Chain A
Amino acid sequence: MNRFDYVRPSTVAEAVQALGSDPAARFIAGGTNLIDLMKYDVERPGKLIDITRLPLAEIEERDGGLRIGALVTNATLAYDARIRERYPLLADAILAGASAQLRNAASTGGNLLQRTRCYYFYDTATPCNKREPGSGCSAIGGVNRIHAILGTSGHCIATHPSDMCVALAALEAVVQVSGPQGDRAIPFAEFHRLPGDEPSRDTNLAAGEIIVAIDLPAKGFAGHHTYLKLRDRLSYAFALVSVAAALELDGQTIRTARLALGGVAHKPWRNTQAEALLQGKPATRETFKAAADLILREAKPQSTNGFKIELARRAIVRGLEQAAAGTPQSQSDKRIQ
Chain B
Amino acid sequence: MVRSDYLPLLLVPALAFLALPLIGNPTTWVTLTIAALAMGMMIFVISSGLTLVFGLMDVLNFGHGAFIAIGAYLAMTTLLPMAGWMQADSLTLNLAALGLAMLVAMAGTGLLGWAFERVIIMPVYGQHLKQILITTGGLIVAEQLIHVFWGGDQKPMALPTALRGAITIGDVAIEKFRLLAVAIGLVVFFAMSLILNRTKLGLLIRAGVENGEMVEALGYRIRRLFVAVFVAGSALAGLGGTMWALYRETLTAGIGSEVIVLVFIVIIIGGLGSVGGCFLGAILVAQMANYTGYLAPKVALASNILLMVIILMWRPQGLYPVAKR
Whether both chains belong to one complex is answered with: no
* B interface residues, Cβ below 8 angstroms from A: none
* A interface residues, Cβ below 8 angstroms from B: none
